[in-house]
Amino acid sequence: MSTTASETSTATSPVAASRRTATGTPFTRALGLATIAGMVWLAAFGLLFSPQDVIQGESVRIMYVHVPTVYLAYLAFTVTAVCSAGFLWKRTRSLTWDRFAGAPAEIGVFFMAIALVTGSLWGSISWGTYWVWDARLTTSAFLFITYLGYLAVRRLGGSHEARARRSGILGVLAVLEVPLVHFSVEWWRPLHQTESVKTGKIEDLMLVSLFVGIVTFTLFYVWLLLHRQRVMHMEDAMDDRGLDAALAERQREGAGA
Amino acid sequence: MLRIARLVAGKDLRVEWRARVLLSQVVPVAGLVLVLFAFALDNGGVVHQGDVREPVTTFVAPGLLWLATLLSLLLLVQRAFAVESADGALDALRVAGVRAEGIFLGKAAALFVELLMLEAALTLGIVVFYDTRLRAAGLLLLVATLLTATAGLALVGTLYGGLTAGAKGRETLLPLLVFPVVSPVLLGAARATEAALGTGGAAVTEGWPWVGLLAVFAAAFGVAGTVAFGPLLEE
Amino acid sequence: MVAMAYAGKILGSYALTFAGVIAYTVYTVRKGRELARRVSPEDRPWT
């Protein structure tokens, strides 16, 4: 009895230890807790406390999740561009920059996809159509596709250096692409959708709800970025070491057969 | 650098001329695309815009001209880099100490010439198939549009072609990367061409701002490509 | 709140957003744990 108990404890303890120290640190744990609290607040404010909008009615509630997600995606893409430049700049060249460019691109693509869906749902209520060829919408859609391509380039294979160089150049080029797309679409369709935050009379509680959303999603973004970057760090380390292990495995298999 | 560019461009064009793929395959495919567009879009409808009445295909002809060009761009870019990566020619050039900027500008110039030939054929195509008439007043605008838009397409195509050269799955990756980037060219070139041809009663003066956009686009990617191509090729 | 106009689309947006947040979190944490088990501690400089 006692031997089995000690056996199981020794068998599980390294696993448990690795769980505690996987990608979390005290800092990210605190961030995670704050995020959870913020999300609950956001749902409560957005769905219950905040009033209807004078013009938009209930549909304004979508804003409290839509605007923070869009903001998060744009923040993420900005970080990707900055960190791409950080890698390409010869004096600061390191794979850490590359991973801090790759992680937010993935986060941005994910949340841009969600934002495009929630945005078109919002549009279907307030404009009566899912999509308009407005510069902001079109640029967002193109950003989504562009970074989808960016992620595909990261998966092309080759050395980590080659991946970092290719994707770094792409990450910087995206900065060139975005204003060109934005302005050309603006010229094409000069009709501008009025921004609800600027024109509509906005109640204090609505502002609070929006603010809670932005803060919460910023915290969540930082949490995700750190964890995702650490996962990528381990993946790269696995790649480096895995190559030797895989070769050894092959040789053993060859010897066995 | 310009001498290298000229040499690379000359080499690419010679390779292309000997293979005759542009004339015997790419141009026919682009022409076929025009026919397919007509099958897809010509439902006998007539578009009224102001006091202008036009068949659907005439009305959308400028857009289709550029859409067909965009599709052909992918074919040409893939060819231009398949030639290089097949026998490690790019590596050989780099080892020989050839400046990457020269390679970039040379390949872009060759692509520019090829695209212009294709567009000339396609312009003839929309005149024949879509009942489009060229007008003397818009001729200068049309030429300016063709030159600026094609420069933008060639530079972007070369840059992204170099980025994906030799990678697995580049056939599907290239359009994913290139189409979002060249979308302003499609938008600007189509509008400017409409103005040049007077499609839907558009005035020639409406086209020039778009040519300005196309020129800015080409300049931006010309600079970006020249700077970026070096780090892209270094190993 | 129950009689909210367009309840389906509004609640759907919230559901999608929060489901996305949760799914991404779970995916990241899981992947981190799985890799942490296979990677030696010196490859995890943050611990």
Q: Which chain A positions have a beta carbon within 8 Å of B213's beta carbon?
A: 183-184, 187
A174-195 average pLDDT score: 78
Tell if the CB–CB gap between B181 and A145 is shorter than 8 Å.
no
Q: Which chain A positions have a beta carbon within 8 Å of B168's beta carbon?
A: 156-157
Cα atoms in the 13 Å half-sphere on the side-chain side of A3: 0
CA closest to A25 among chain C residues: C47
Residue A73 scores a pLDDT above 90: yes
**pLDDT per position as a tens digit, A207-257:** 888 888 999 999 999 999 999 999 999 888 888 877 667 667 777 766 654
Buried b (16+ CB within 10 A) or exposed e, A13-43: eeeeebeebbbbeeebeebbebbeebbebbb
φ/ψ of residue B178, rounded to 5: -80, -40
Q: Highest-confidence range of A15-29, A84-98, B143-157, B159-173, by mean pLDDT?
A: B143-157
Burial of residue B158, with CB atoms counted within 10 A of its CB: 0-12 exposed, 13-18 middle, 19 or more buried: buried
Instruction: Report how many helices (DSSP H) and strands (DSSP E) chain C contains, helices first.
Output: 1, 0
Which two structure tokens, joined as six digits, stand for A236? Answer: 């790269």
Host H or E run for residue B150: helix B139-164
Q: What is the pLDDT of residue A202?
A: 62
Q: Looking at CA atoms only, how far is residue A58 from chain C in angstroms?
A: 6
Q: What is the pLDDT of residue B235?
A: 55
Buried b (16+ CB within 10 A) or exposed e, B190-224: bbbbbbbbbbbebebeebbebbebbbbbbebbbeb
Q: What is the pLDDT of residue B202?
A: 86
Alpha helices in B24-99 (DSSP H): 27-41, 56-86, 89-95
Q: What is the pLDDT of residue A1?
A: 38
Host H or E run for residue A174: helix A160-188
Helix axes B100-129, B208-233, angle to 10 degrees: 140
ipTM of the complex: 0.87
Residue A135 scores a pLDDT above 50: yes
B127-143 average pLDDT score: 91
B192-203 average pLDDT score: 90
Residue B20 scores a pLDDT above 90: no
Tell if the CB–CB gap between C28 and A224 is shorter than 8 Å.
yes
Residue B182 scores a pLDDT above 80: yes
Single-letter amino acid code for the residue at A182: H
Q: Which of A15, A121, A231 sits opposite C28 (nearest CB)?
A: A231
**pLDDT per position as a tens digit, B51-106:** 888 889 999 999 999 999 999 999 999 888 887 776 677 777 777 777 888 889 99
d(CA B57, CA B131): 8
Neighbours of chain A (3+ CB pairs under 8 A): B, C
Mutation test of the interface with chain A: which of C1, C18, C26, C35, choosing the one with the most A Cβ atoms within 10 A? C35
Q: How many Cβ atoms are within 10 Å of B1's Cβ, its own excluded? A: 15
Q: Which chain B positions have a beta carbon within 8 Å of A105's beta carbon?
A: none
Q: What is the pLDDT of residue A51?
A: 77
Helix axes A160-188, A63-88, angle to 10 degrees: 130
Q: Which of A158, A170, A176 sits opposite B163 (nearest CB)?
A: A170
Which two structure tokens, joined as six digits, stand for B5? Answer: 């560019």
Q: pLDDT exceeding 70 applies to what percent of chain A?
A: 81
Residue C1 — pLDDT band, cuts 50, 70, 90? very low
Q: Which of A48, A57, A234 sits opposite C35 (nearest CB)?
A: A234
Tell me if B106 sits within 8 A of B8, measured CB to CB.
yes
pLDDT: is A8 or B99 the higher one? B99
Tell if the CB–CB gap between A230 and C5 is shorter than 8 Å.
no
Q: Which chain A positions have a beta carbon within 8 Å of B181's beta carbon?
A: 146, 173, 177
Chain mean pLDDT for chain B: 89
Q: Which of C31, C37, C39 sits opposite A15 (nearest CB)?
A: C37
Q: Say what the pTM is.
A: 0.86
d(CA B147, CA B185): 12
Which two structure tokens, joined as six digits, stand for B55? Answer: 């068949």
A38-49 average pLDDT score: 87
User: CA-CA distances (angstroms) from residue A26 to A19, A99, B220, C31, C40?
Assistant: 13, 21, 46, 19, 20
Residue A123 scores a pLDDT above 60: yes
Residue B183 scores a pLDDT above 90: yes
